[in-house]
Amino acid sequence: MKSAYELAMERLQKQAPSIKLTEEQKARIAELESRYKARAAEREIGLADAISTAMSQGNLDEVRNLEQQLAHEKKKIAEELEEKKESVRTGKA
């Protein structure tokens, strides 16, 4: 008898079969992940200094705005990365 997990995985496989990636696609995706991870870290470092300065000045509104900006930029970078990875997976890159 199959577990609920196994049954769910079978249904998922029927709905959206997994795609086998070539070594070139895997390498391209790894490169993209590395590049976008660096971009996110770069933005975090850049805004961390501004956040620290605003905190030391007691400007809590500015701190909140900068933190929201950082969250927005990290989300935007992650979305862009997913789009690029999907284009590699589908062979459009």
Note the pLDDT tens digit of each residue in 28-64.
Answer: 999 999 999 999 999 999 999 999 999 999 999 999 9
End-to-end CA distance of the chain: 43
Residue 26 is assigned to a structural domain of this protein = no
DSSP class of residue 66 equals H
Residue 43 CB-half CA count within 13 A: 18
Inside any domain, residue 66: yes
Cα 19 from chain centroid? 20
Residue 17 confidence (pLDDT) above 80: no
64 within some domain: yes
Span 71-87, pLDDT tens digits? 999 999 999 999 999 99
Can you tell me the distance from the alpha carbon of 69 to that of 15, in angstroms, rounded to the nearest whole number? 37
Structural domain contains residue 48 = no
pTM over 0.85: no
Residue 68 in this model has a pLDDT that exceeds 70? yes
Considering its fold, how many domains does the chain have in total?
1
Q: Is residue 8 part of a domain?
A: no
Residue keyed to tokens 């995706």: 29
For 80, the domain range is: 58-93
